[in-house]
Amino acid sequence: MPVLRRLEEQSGPAAPGDAAGPALERIIPFTFVPGPALTPDDASALVSQLESLYGPFTDLDWLTGGAGVSYHDMVRHVVGELGPALADVDLAITVDASPDCRNQSFPAALLAELLPGAPLQMGVSEQGVAGPFTALRIAHQRLRSGAARRALVLIMEQSTLPPDDAAVRPTRDVAVALLLGPDGTVAVDPPTITVTRTDPDSRTDPDSRAAAEADLVVAGAGLTGTPPGTPVVRAPGGHPCAGVWLALAEALAGGTSPAGRVLVADVDPVLPYRCAVTLTPSAARPEPPARDRRPGRARTVDHPPAAEPRPRRPRELVP
């Protein structure tokens, strides 16, 4: 079990004062098609767990007819796809905005088990649009302090969910992987997460000062206002956690970075969170090493196959 150290405490080969500032190496989106139907055991265990929290369901079509792509499926596929690019990741953070569709252990534990070495594992769950920004903030602090060298932030959304009128339901099963480290070419500022107490209708504009200083704004679906004089890329609707990151991946696709500062901003439609982070592509940074770290295009994959487990893999705990 990894030991969580204080963020300022030095760990690893980086000497104090020599730690490179966090930078984005790659951002890779994934989409998934429906997998095999849930087994009766999977379905009954999940229904029992959810009904203990929300009461009995009168209709289980959302489960029996759902896509059934779990967070474990996504983790296995992402690790299999990225392969050698994850060789020296020593901090792994998963982000999800809703419960899983299968009764399994936390995805961060599986991710850390499939990665080589012994990376520090963390999971951020059910924090709405703030989840990815929280994970980036943790990664930023640990990379900046030298407590970690490279970080993987894996944002996931699965669409097999019970009815809920108050929440934004994912329209697709998607994941977005962000790799950060000293070899990146897009500098990352410390993310900001603000708790607001105002009317949600007054939170629809990006922060005016940050937007004025940006050369491009990547705005979440809830930010409907347009900052004057600044180009805006809109996130697709139907993604309560990953939308703005799908839009950012598209903006950076093909290896062509926007000139100047990029503001990534989002607001949660239910929780009182406003979030933002500024990215700065820099031509002065060194080129990535031999392994391919260019931003990748979104890909659609069949139901992810199981990854090859490492020797002596411990048995997963099922609640």
Give the angle subtended at the CA of 116 by the CAs of 114 and 118, to the nearest 5°.
95
Bigger pLDDT: 285 or 59?
59
Beta bridge partners of 96: 125, 156
Contact criterion met (CB below 8 Å) for 48 and 80: no
Q: Any idea what the Cα angle at residue 180 is, between residues 176 and 183, rounded to 5°?
A: 135
Please report the pLDDT score of residue 211 as a whole number: 72
- pLDDT for res 120: 94
Lowest mean pLDDT among 147-151, 208-212, 264-268: 208-212
Contact at 8 Å (CB) between 120 and 111?
no
H, E, C per residue of 140-204: HHHHHHCCCCCEEEEEEECCCCCCCCCCCCCCCEEEEEEEECCCCCEEECCCEEEECCCCHHHHC
Cα–Cα distance measured from residue 269 to residue 278, given in angstroms and rounded to the nearest whole number: 21
What's the confidence (pLDDT) of residue 199?
57
Instruction: pLDDT band for 206, please (50, 70, 90 cuts).
Output: low
Share of the chain above pLDDT 70, in %: 71
Flag whether pLDDT at 304 surpasses 80.
no
Q: What is the mean pLDDT of residues 194-207?
A: 64
Digit-coded pLDDT (tens) for 10-48? 334 333 333 446 899 999 999 998 877 677 677 777 788
> How far apart are alpha carbons 137 and 60 in whole angstroms?
38
Residue 61 tokens read as 């079509």
Asked if residues 69 and 99 have their Cβ atoms less than 8 Å apart, the reply is no
203 compared with 217, residue with greater pLDDT: 217
Mean pLDDT to the nearest integer, 208-231: 79
Q: Does pLDDT of 190 surpass 70?
A: yes
| CB environment 87-105: b (16+ within 10 A), e (fewer) | eebbbbbbbbbbbbbbbbb
3-class secondary-structure state, position 36: coil
Residue 236 has pLDDT above 90, yes or no: no
Mean pLDDT of the chain: 77
Q: For the ranges 16-20, 92-96, 238-242, which has the lowest average pLDDT?
A: 16-20
Instruction: Output the six-digit token pair for 34.
Output: 């429906």
pLDDT in tens, 270-286: 888 889 999 998 753 44
Q: What is the pLDDT of residue 189?
A: 94
**Residue-wise pLDDT tens digits, 107-145:** 999 999 999 888 999 999 988 899 999 999 999 999 999
Kindly state the percentage of the chain with pLDDT values over 90.
37
pLDDT of residue 55: 80
Tell me the mean pLDDT in the region 297-306. Answer: 46
pLDDT at 2 exceeding the cut of 60:
no
At residue 202, the pLDDT reads 53
Highest mean pLDDT of the ranges 47-51, 189-193, 307-311, 314-318: 189-193
